[in-house]
């Protein structure tokens, strides 16, 4: 098996995630999390909350509805612009994104081209159906939102939200007033979003139902060239790839402002995202970069758009995991126009509509990225060297054997530890098999109760990443585990 197949096998066997409703064949773009995947996902989300809401005392999480009325998406532009170019085969009815067909055949990028431009390229190169060789219809556009009807008789048209962001925008004025009319404020949402992708591929990398973690930062546009905490990031070096360039380079945040001409307020949050990946999650710096999107690639509402990408082996290189967007006042102005409700604030002796910096994470693709990047092997066996803070369990407790009082002592230790740590108990199979099971799911510390435990009240602590072992007194267990988890290494 290659790396991707090995990872897929572990995800299914150990309870990470798999295609939803698989007993009925499943539908592309929908996945279910098992017990291990749910634990990792929850820990990642909590790390995200702690880090990003900790950037400012005026940043808070809210929980808007996933179903919103049609007017919301008329105002935001999703009804008009949230489309993909689609093409159908006249012979076999095969349907695919037009730009994807061209990319697969011509090995170039065609994202962002109009349907007219795509039609011209298809005619010029005499592109045929990749399935049957049949003639292709004219390129059309398909809206990616899921429509729903609300109510029994006089139905109201609504949509499953294609992003969590609109929930923050339609609630902005209420939150602004509740937060004592100050800026900047940040409204974060962690929740489901839905996009009716034409042909989702790449497993959990591109889904029809997925979880986003987004932070909308509302601020006075006159202050975009400053940030109160700028000194803490100005000397941070990041690897960046400019639009139109083939070579990434390392630059400081100060150089991003002076040479690339980005505003300080925006670069500060780019730096924050970079630190989250390199310092909190522990990705090596040479595997993380920011890529600037070209005008053709950017969403219609973004004035600036840089994607944080991580190099992932099973997906063939750098892949987007997070975006930092400057949406200026597009959303609030559009909602003011559509609803008739003023979105202006009076602050700093002036009246204005706030601008927005958005930090947007796809949680599911981030979970897969962690599994892909930190997968390793030792002596022919799989080891998932996850960052300790996102490992499903902090530790696992084993009795060496299920007799002679070792199992009772192990259960006692497990119960004491489980009040403080995410702890797992296992007494099934040989000790070697139990170690291997925990290595595969990423548990950093295994604790073994053996016959010496009954003599001197010590246990064996085993390191997941090296298989090295130390003896620790039972009375020191909690403090020792806390130190190991906190520093992120054994």
Q: What are phi and psi of 207, to 5 degrees?
A: -120, 165
| pLDDT at position 154 | 78
Give 139-175 as a DSSP string.
Answer: PEEEE-SEEEEESSSS-EEEEE-SSSHHHHHHTHHHH
| pLDDT at position 320 | 97
CATH architecture of the domain 393-487 equals: 3-Layer(aba) Sandwich (3.40)
State whether the Cα torsion 318-322-328-331 is positive or negative: positive
**pLDDT mean by block of 10 residues, the chain; 490 residues:** 94 96 94 97 98 98 97 94 91 91 89 87 93 92 94 89 97 97 97 92 89 98 97 98 95 97 98 98 97 88 95 95 97 97 95 98 97 96 97 97 95 96 96 97 98 96 97 97 93
| pLDDT at position 108 | 87
**323: which strand partners?**
307, 360
The CATH code of domain 83-143 reads 3.30.40.230
What DSSP designation does 138 have? P
Joined together, the tokens standing for residue 463 give 């390191």
CA distance 39 to 143: 34
> Judging by DSSP bridges, how do beta strands 59-61 and 185-194 pair with one another?
parallel
How many DSSP H helices and E strands does the chain contain?
A: 16, 26
| pLDDT at position 155 | 83
CA distance 71 to 63: 20
CA distance 275 to 481: 25
**Using CA atoms in the order 42, 46, 48, 50, what is the torsion angle rounded to 10 degrees?**
180
Number of residues in the chain: 490
Neighbours of 63 (CB within 10 A): 11
Q: Give residue limits of the domains in the chain.
A: 7-68+159-234+262-374, 83-143, 393-487
The reply to whether 7-68+159-234+262-374 and 83-143 are identical in fold is: no
CA distance 198 to 444: 40
Instruction: Give, in words, the CATH class of 7-68+159-234+262-374.
Output: alpha beta
| Global pTM exceeds 0.85 | yes
């Amino acid at each position: 098996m290659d790396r991707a197949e090995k990872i897929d096998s572990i995800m299914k066997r150990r309870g990470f995630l798999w295609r939803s409703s698989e007993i009925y064949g499943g539908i592309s773009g929908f996945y279910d999390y098992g017990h291990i995947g749910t634990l990792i996902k929850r820990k990642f989300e909590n790390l995200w909350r702690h880090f990003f809401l900790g950037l400012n005392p005026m940043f808070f999480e809210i929980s808007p509805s996933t179903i919103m009325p049609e007017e919301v998406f008329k105002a935001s532009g999703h009804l008009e612009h949230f489309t993909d170019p689609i093409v159908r085969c006249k012979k076999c009815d095969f349907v695919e994104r037009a730009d994807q067909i061209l990319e697969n055949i011509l090995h170039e990028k065609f994202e962002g081209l109009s349907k007219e431009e795509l039609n011209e390229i298809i005619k010029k190169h005499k592109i045929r159906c990749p399935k049957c060789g049949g003639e292709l219809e004219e390129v059309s556009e398909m809206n990616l939102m899921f429509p729903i009807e609300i109510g029994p008789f006089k139905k109201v048209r609504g949509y499953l939200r294609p992003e969590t962001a609109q929930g923050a925008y339609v609630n902005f004025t209420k939150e602004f007033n509740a937060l004592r009319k100050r800026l900047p404020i940040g409204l974060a949402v962690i929740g489901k979003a839905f996009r009716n992708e034409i042909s989702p591929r790449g497993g959990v990398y591109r889904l029809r139902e997925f979880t986003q973690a987004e932070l909308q930062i509302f601020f006075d546009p006159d202050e975009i060239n400053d940030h109160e905490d700028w000194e803490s990031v100005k000397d941070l070096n990041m690897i960046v790839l400019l639009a139109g360039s083939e070579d990434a380079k390392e630059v400081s945040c100060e150089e991003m402002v002076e040479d690339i001409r980005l505003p300080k307020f925006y670069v500060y949050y780019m730096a924050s995202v970079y630190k989250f990946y390199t310092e909190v999650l522990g990705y090596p710096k040479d595997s993380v970069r920011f890529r600037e999107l070209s005008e053709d690639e950017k969403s219609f509402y973004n004035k600036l758009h840089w994607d944080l990408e991580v190099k992932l082996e099973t997906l063939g290189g750098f892949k987007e995991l997070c975006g930092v967007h400057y949406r200026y006042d597009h959303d609030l102005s559009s909602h003011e126009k559509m609803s008739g409700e003023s979105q202006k604030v009076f602050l700093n002796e002036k009246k204005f509509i706030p601008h927005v910096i958005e930090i947007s994470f796809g949680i599911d693709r981030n979970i897969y990225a962690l599994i892909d990047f930190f997968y390793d092997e030792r002596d022919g066996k799989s080891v998932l060297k996850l960052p300790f803070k996102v490992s499903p369990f902090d530790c696992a407790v084993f009795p060496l054997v299920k007799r002679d009082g070792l199992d009772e002592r192990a259960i006692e230790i497990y119960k004491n530890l489980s009040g403080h740590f995410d702890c797992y108990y296992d007494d099934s199979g040989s000790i070697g098999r139990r170690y291997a099971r925990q290595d595969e799911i990423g548990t950093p510390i295994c604790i073994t109760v053996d016959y010496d435990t009954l003599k001197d009240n010590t246990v064996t602590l085993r390191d997941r990443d090296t298989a090295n072992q130390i003896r620790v007194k039972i009375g020191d267990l909690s403090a020792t585990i806390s130190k190991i988890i906190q520093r992120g290494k054994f």
